[in-house]
């Protein structure tokens, strides 16, 4: 097994000789999320809505903290059915503030309810949330030819995440800053930011090639 000092920067190799991005090293569930979900292209509105809300809850925290609470979040927020969440009221805010399974932050809870209403408006205009979000997928030519640890560290935002953030804010969404939106783009497969040498990078690249962008339909 390669340790942190001998593995390429930003990567680690486990006992089974599987090389992964080092950010998922902490736990097995984190590695499973990295292998099976992160970067895989998503065209399902409920999944997209869930992730953008959870990215908002992550602000100031680690994604591992949110991942460990994800099932509790799903239970608390009606499976992130955006129509159900849009109907939440003050009673639901009080209920959620008492739920120890989630992040009990009044502003983030209120933001999720607000964003569900804004998501309804986006869906009405574009047909699906996927059609809206995938219009911000960057052209392949605009991406680095190789994603190294050093390159990734320099990409906390992008022109597309800044544009997405700006447009969402104009539409009344909250907790959608450019850095948060870039993390959303990474997770939902609008970009492939698995590092060169990561075992998941090729799988994600193939999945992206096979995925038809909803914005192009």
pLDDT digits (tens, 9 = 90+) for 104-156: 999 999 999 999 999 999 999 999 999 999 999 998 755 666 777 777 766 78
Residue 23 appears among annotated catalytic residues: no
- Residue pLDDT, tens place only, 35-84: 999 999 999 999 999 999 999 999 999 999 999 999 999 999 999 999 99
Q: Work out the angle between the directed axes of helices 178-188 and 159-170 (0-180°, nearest 10).
A: 110
Residue of 23, 33, 37, 196 marked active site: 33
Is 73 within a domain?
yes
Q: How many CA atoms lie within 13 A of 78 on its CB side?
A: 14
Residue 92 lies in a domain: yes
> According to the model, what pLDDT value does residue 5 have?
46
Total count of domains within the chain: 1
User: Is pTM, for the whole model, over 0.85?
Assistant: yes
* Residue 174 covered by a domain: yes
CB atoms within 10 A of CB 56: 24
Domain presence at residue 176: yes
What is the predicted pLDDT for the residue at 122? 98
Spot the catalytic one: 30, 38, 55, 137. Answer: 55
Active-site residue identified among 30, 38, 63, 134: 63
| Active-site residue, 63 included | yes
CB atoms within 10 A of CB 136: 21
Exposed / middle / buried, residue 217 (Cβ in 10 Å: 0-12, 13-18, 19+) = exposed
Residue 31 maps to a domain: no
What is the domain range of residue 183?
Answer: 45-216
Residue 130 lies inside a defined structural domain of this protein? yes
Q: Looking at the domain assignment, is residue 21 inside a domain?
A: no
Active site annotation includes 30: no
| CATH number for the domain that contains residue 189 | 1.10.340.30
Q: Residue 139: inside a domain, yes or no?
A: yes
């Amino acid at each position: 097994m390669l340790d942190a000092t001998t593995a390429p920067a930003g990567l680690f190799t486990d006992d089974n000789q599987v090389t992964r991005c080092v950010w998922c090293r902490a736990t097995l569930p984190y590695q499973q999320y990295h292998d099976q979900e992160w970067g895989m292209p998503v065209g399902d509105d409920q999944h997209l809505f869930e992730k953008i809300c959870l990215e908002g809850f992550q602000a100031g925290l680690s994604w591992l903290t949110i991942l460990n609470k994800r099932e509790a979040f799903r239970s608390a927020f009606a499976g992130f059915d955006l129509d159900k969440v849009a109907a939440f009221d003050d009673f639901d805010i009080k209920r959620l503030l008492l739920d120890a399974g989630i992040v009990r932050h009044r502003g983030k809870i209120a933001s999720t309810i607000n964003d569900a209403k804004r998501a309804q408006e986006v869906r009405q205009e574009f047909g699906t949330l996927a059609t809206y979000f995938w219009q911000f997928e960057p052209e392949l030519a605009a991406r680095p030819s190789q994603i190294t640890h050093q390159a990734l560290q320099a990409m906390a935002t992008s022109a597309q995440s800044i544009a997405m953030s700006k447009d969402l804010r104009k539409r009344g969404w909250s907790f959608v800053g450019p850095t948060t939106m870039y993390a959303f783009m990474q997770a939902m497969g609008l970009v492939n930011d698995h590092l060169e040498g990561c075992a998941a990078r090729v799988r994600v690249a193939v999945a992206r090639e096979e995925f038809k962008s909803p914005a192009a339909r």
